[in-house]
Amino acid sequence: MSIQQAYNQWASQYDTNDNKTRDAEAIVLKTLLRDIDFHSCLEIGCGTGKNTQWLHTKANTLMGLDFSEAMLQEAQRKIQAPHVQFIQANILEPWHFVQQPFNLVVFSLVLEHIENLDAAFAKAAAALQPGGYMYVGELHPFKQYTGSKARYTNEHGLQVLTCYLHHLSEFLNAGISVGFEVKRVFEYFDEDDANSIPRILGILFQLK
């Protein structure tokens, strides 16, 4: 099953399943973006709008983008606001949806489904104003080393999605190589236990 088909299936239960990764990433996003002024936000892989609900309270304009129609429908049900626009697009294709540069691009739990980080970060840099920010919040690669992957259960059993492993150095170097500097790195540990394997890697980049 393709990643897009899987999210179309997962959409109706995505918000209600127990999902520590989903919930922890929302905490990381707020921690890294709370003190950042952003007025126009491009949220890549917005899904059911988990983070859109908070981001749109800080932004004057927000574009939520996803290739799953069913995930987008859940987001649209939750958030109806004149400054929020949802669009269906695949970020592996050219980013024709960028009409004006943004000052924040958000990737939450989406880059594990993207094989080529360099291409995604180059497109994000091109979509930003100078000085704009790029936030990355992903399942920590250390957690991926233990075999953790996006998954859900349906009537046919456990469905494990296609995921790509990106090491910490790949995330950092892919950003730096297209003109970002690293502003903050945050590692989220379950129960605040810094002796355990971190669950979420959060990185805040700023375009030079």
Ligand X SMILES: C[S@@+](CC[C@H](N)C(=O)[O-])C[C@H]1O[C@@H](n2cnc3c(N)ncnc32)[C@H](O)[C@@H]1O
**Residues 28-57 as x/- pattern, contact with ligand X by CB under 6 A:** -----------------xxx--xx------
Among 117, 150, 200, 207, binds ligand X (CB under 6 A): 150
Nearer to ligand X, 176 or 187 (CB): 187
Residue ranges in 176-205 that form contacts with ligand X under rule CB under 6 A: none
By CB under 6 A, tell whether 166 contacts ligand X: no
What count of other Cβ atoms lies within 10 Å of the Cβ of residue 79? 18
Nearest-CB residue for ligand X = 47
Q: CB 68 → ligand X: shortest distance, Å?
A: 3
Q: CB 208 → ligand X: shortest distance, Å?
A: 26
Q: Which stretch binds ligand X (CB under 6 A): 66-74, 125-133, 181-189, 197-205?
A: 66-74
Nearer to ligand X, 95 or 142 (CB): 95
Nearer to ligand X, 107 or 205 (CB): 107
Q: Which stretch binds ligand X (CB under 6 A): 67-75, 127-135, 176-184, 186-194?
A: 67-75
**Residues 75-114 as x/- pattern, contact with ligand X by CB under 6 A:** ---------------xxx---------------xxx--x-
By CB under 6 A, tell whether 71 contacts ligand X: yes
Q: Which long-range contacts (CB under 8 A, 24 or more apart) does 140-144 make?
A: 140/187, 140/188, 140/197, 140/198, 140/199, 140/200, 140/201, 141/165, 141/166, 141/167, 141/168, 141/171, 141/201, 142/197, 142/198, 143/197, 143/198, 143/199, 144/112
Q: What does the binding site for ligand X look like in residue numbers (CB under 6 A)?
A: 3, 7, 22, 25, 45-47, 50-51, 66-68, 71, 90-92, 108-110, 113, 150
